[in-house]
């Protein structure tokens, strides 16, 4: 099942001429389920990609629009979050497959197909907010949402202005 879903995200490089090519991908809930440790419970949307291919380099420009189902960190309710991102990734041809940075990777010269599913998944994952808050809670005062401990503490005891008599005795000593 995993291979059949991700098969549509593989681009056959040997059949493509040098130049600009456009691709459209549908992001369905099964797409997100194929990845382990997934932050997205469910998602649907689309990703368009333009590829500028040359002899030594491939430049990928992504435009991703997706709605993802997330769990609120405060209420644990599920809600839909709309994400839109534009990203660029550069793929160079080299001797070994490696990631040079978040935006640049190297693939072997003889690579016949390029799988862009990981790039799309990573870009969607990076757009998920660090603090996931349900839209109905975003405008509320945060003080209402924070747990308050009702047990009395030592600092809540009324302070007496009286001074310890031992200190009074020490103040009377003359040097």
The tens digit of pLDDT for each residue in 71-103 reads 888 888 888 999 999 999 999 998 888 888 889
Is 61 inside any structural domain?
Answer: yes
Count of C-beta atoms within a 10 Å radius of residue 51: 21
Q: What is the DSSP string of 74-122?
A: TT--EEEEEEEEEEEEEEEEESS-EE-SSSEEEEETT--EEE-HHHHHH
Is 75 inside any structural domain?
Answer: yes
Is 34 inside any structural domain?
Answer: yes
Say what the pLDDT of residue 152 is: 65
**What's the domain range around 115?**
2-134
Per-residue pLDDT 10s for the chain (175 aa) are 457 778 889 999 888 899 999 999 999 888 888 888 777 878 899 999 999 999 889 999 999 999 999 888 888 888 899 999 999 999 999 888 888 888 999 998 888 899 999 999 999 999 998 888 888 887 766 545 555 556 666 665 555 667 777 887 788 888 7
CA dihedral 31, 37, 43, 48 (to 10 degrees): -60
Say what the pLDDT of residue 59 is: 94
pTM, full prediction: 0.74
Count how many domains the chain has.
1
Is 155 inside any structural domain?
Answer: no
Say what the pLDDT of residue 161 is: 64
């Amino acid at each position: 099942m995993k291979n059949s879903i991700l098969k549509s995200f593989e681009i056959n490089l040997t059949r493509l001429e040098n130049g600009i090519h456009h691709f459209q991908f549908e992001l369905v809930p099964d797409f997100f389920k194929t990845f382990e440790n997934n932050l997205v419970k469910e998602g649907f949307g689309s990703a368009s990609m333009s590829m500028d291919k040359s002899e030594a380099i491939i430049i990928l420009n992504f435009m991703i629009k997706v709605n993802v189902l997330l769990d609120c960190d405060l209420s644990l309710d599920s809600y839909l979050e709309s994400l839109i991102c534009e990203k660029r990734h550069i793929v160079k041809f080299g001797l070994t497959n490696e990631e040079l940075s978040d935006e640049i990777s190297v693939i072997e010269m003889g690579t016949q197909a390029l799988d862009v599913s990981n790039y799309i998944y990573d870009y969607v994952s990076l757009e998920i907010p660090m603090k996931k808050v349900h839209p109905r809670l975003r405008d509320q005062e945060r003080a209402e949402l924070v747990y308050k401990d009702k047990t009395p503490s030592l600092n809540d005891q009324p302070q007496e202005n009286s001074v310890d008599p031992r200190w009074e005795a020490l103040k009377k000593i003359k040097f």
